[in-house]
Chain A
């Protein structure tokens, strides 16, 4: 296929300041407000017509309308339908939604909100430039020891006050998501600029750092068996009261006191930690002055983590491995140890006590349990097949891996993979919910990665056809998000699917250059609120997929239609950039998209 050509596009850049800031032009305070006459206005407006109190014309005929419920930008000549009406609201674009005055300045606009001023710049960026700016923010403020998840700040809307540490339940998962963008960026730059270009060298270094951080989670616990920790903290970083943490001390790690560990009776449990951590990975904390005794790792690992680790190992082996044999050997070691651990655990991920973790089960025993086991079986069976396929690919070995793969195929694992939608629908109705209310957004991401891997590794035509059929049982939930990060892995796995590249282009164009997670006003006059089928008060949704710069900044595993209510804590929260860079660099790598020459 020919790549879809992405063009430079206007992007929002917001600067908040107090109204007495010397940068604010005096003319903003001297504007005289006149309510606009919007009778017969040809497009739906985000605010009620009677809420608009002022307007002003900017460059190129663009009109800015101020309301008591936010700011609207109207560009009658916009090339793309989504750009005709744009909406700006508190708290990512404005301090509050009551607009006191507006003053256009070329393509940009000054907005007065009580004591605050927002300077909104509309800057022209290529999609690559947008990605670079997002990446810069993430690498400077969100990443810690090579891991990327999210970060809180001490002051709202001021990323420079980032705490430097965070608590993340799935560090391996989200760092692996970030790694995809980084490693494909490296591969594309190497292909286009050459291995010795400074940008390529920087890209390789960045991807390698993420790779090492992810691999470290497979050693940081020091257990002999191939376990993977969810995350780890070092001395000085507060441990959240969430899950099971083990503090290393010499040759043992001791379970810390949390609400969860008290409930499970694991407080004080001692787990040996004698398996060495490769020096190359230990550098990530040793270079910062920490030792193994400074580490508290998080256990009770889920299949989310494990799946993302295998996806990461496959890509790292393929793209970084050839030029970095030392790293490749570590990848192979993790792959062998983890797969062995799962096989020895009868396809369940085991804690040191021998008990399975809560959510990492790929066994027929689990699939036979009513409820979650029955519903999870199609995805989890496919994950297990993917782990084995990746292990064979990475290690170059067959033996036990192939025997196990063949046995699971004979046991019906591949046949189970196609039953996802049937069982998901049945499971939701069976518990009295409606399927659309019972969606597990985290599972979408896992299915996406699992079948992307399976469909690009399996050579047997019959099995490949089964995996593609299985992938498509997820298409309703994956493709409805119009998220290039979901569409591209699906296209890589199922080349016959049809994608709406115009809408995917909108998705790229309409990302902001920050991952500030402050919420926006979603109760808009132009967007219907969706009433749920049984009227259950589980989660309110809007019925239209808004552009990324007009909805909340989230990870992939969240509902993009969710009507989130205002929460001040999000003003001090920043997400990593992977939702954009994962999709962008994957699209470039596979040749699905290209930048305009």
Chain B
């Protein structure tokens, strides 16, 4: 069985050591570095970042794609979505790479499987798990949780060990499992929804106010979300409050025919276009035929939502609507 060489320590020395080993041994493949860590590395040591980037491009270094920051295991749906979205987008934009294996913490929210599935991941390797199984969630979403990896710390292995073993990426090792005969148990994630913090609520309000008023503050807002991932609640709240000012939410801006639908987000699309994104979650555990009205955007549309399903809609030109799978 191939070994999975992982960079566990995020330091200049550790990264340099891993890069040196990649240079010395053509069969070595290194796994590690989150979007946050790569982003920090680029700021601290651009030359070293470029060297890692080249290895990522050559598919000898596989980053750890999942959450932007993986410390908080209890988070709201929207924070989870943004956390993953910004990580996935980072790798797409910076490296033109789309990875299919989520790596990181298991989040205690029943939206977890839905979010990672809809973000394009087909499997995950979770820090805390020791079993391999199917993880099921609402709206028939499922992911493979894989735990049978022989991980070694790339900084701990010596030349003899590298010479004596084969190496594989987490990505390829896990996706190869889909070609095997599988007989796995399936586990349903219990219904649980993490609470948004006060700073998150302010940020969501700020985004909604921006749409109501036709103001685009995407960059500030994205930075606020990243501050939130890092636990800098006050920084995020201060910026959000400035954006909100004296404005209030217009409760009639978007109307539904059911109360048991929670609006998670109303915001401009992340790509800087004029498109507006509406994200909702069914909260009563019942399938519904919804109508959504938003006169201000000349939009009115129908939707079908399954129990506890998350749905994201993008209102495009002239009020036409797309349902999008990824957390826009």
Contact = CB atoms under 8 A, between A and B. Distances in A.
Given A529-B323, A530-B322, A533-B118, A422 B181 contact: no
A425 B322 contact: no
Interface string B18-37: 00000000000000000000
A416 B313 CA distance: 39
Interface residues of B, number: 38
A526 B120 contact: no
Nearest to B255: A42
A526 B302 contact: yes
B179 A39 contact: no
Q: Which of A39, A48, A429 has the most CB of B within 10 A?
A: A429
A530 B289 CA distance: 16
A49 B322 contact: no
B203 to A, nearest CB: 25
A50 to B, nearest CB: 8
A138 to B, nearest CB: 30
A525 B291 contact: no
Interface in A571-589: none
A40 B295 contact: yes
A430 B325 contact: no
A426 B178 contact: yes
Given A426-B182, A533-B118, A44 B318 contact: no
Given A526-B300, A543-B323, A370 B120 contact: no
B179 A370 contact: yes
Contacts of B142: 425
Contacts, number: 84
Contacts of B324: 531
A295 B288 CA distance: 52
A235 B182 CA distance: 52
Q: Which of A39, A44, A426 has the most CB of B within 10 A?
A: A44
B301 A49 contact: no
Nearest to A436: B140
B300 A543 contact: no
Nearest to A419: B183
A44 B301 contact: yes
Contacts of A374: 181
A545 B295 CA distance: 23
B277 to A, nearest CB: 12
Contact of B300 (A45, A81, A503, A530): A45
Interface in A484-541: 500, 503, 525-534
The prevalent SS among residues of A at the interface is loop
Contacts of B301: 44, 525-528
Nearest to B290: A544
B194 interface: no
B120 A534 contact: yes
Given A49-B298, A528-B321, A422 B182 contact: yes
Q: Which of A39, A425, A528, A545 has the most CB of B within 10 A?
A: A528
A528 B303 contact: yes
B164 interface: no
A87 to B, nearest CB: 11
Q: Which of B122, B123, B183, B186 has the most CB of A within 10 A?
A: B122
A81 B186 contact: no
B81 to A, nearest CB: 15
A534 B122 CA distance: 11
Nearest to A532: B325
A236 interface: no
A476 B306 CA distance: 11
A525 B118 contact: no
Contacts of B120: 533-534
Given A39-B295, A476-B140, A48 B325 contact: no
17 contacts: A44-B293, A44-B302, A48-B298, A81-B289, A422-B134, A425-B142, A426-B182, A525-B319, A526-B301, A528-B303, A528-B313, A528-B323, A530-B322, A531-B325, A533-B117, A543-B304, A544-B304
Given A40-B295, A425-B134, A525-B300, 18 more contacts: A42-B293, A44-B301, A45-B300, A48-B298, A50-B298, A370-B179, A422-B134, A425-B142, A429-B123, A476-B140, A503-B289, A525-B319, A527-B321, A530-B323, A534-B120, A543-B304, A544-B304, A545-B304
Q: Which 4 A-B pairs have the closest CB atoms?
A: A44-B300, A430-B178, A543-B323, A528-B321
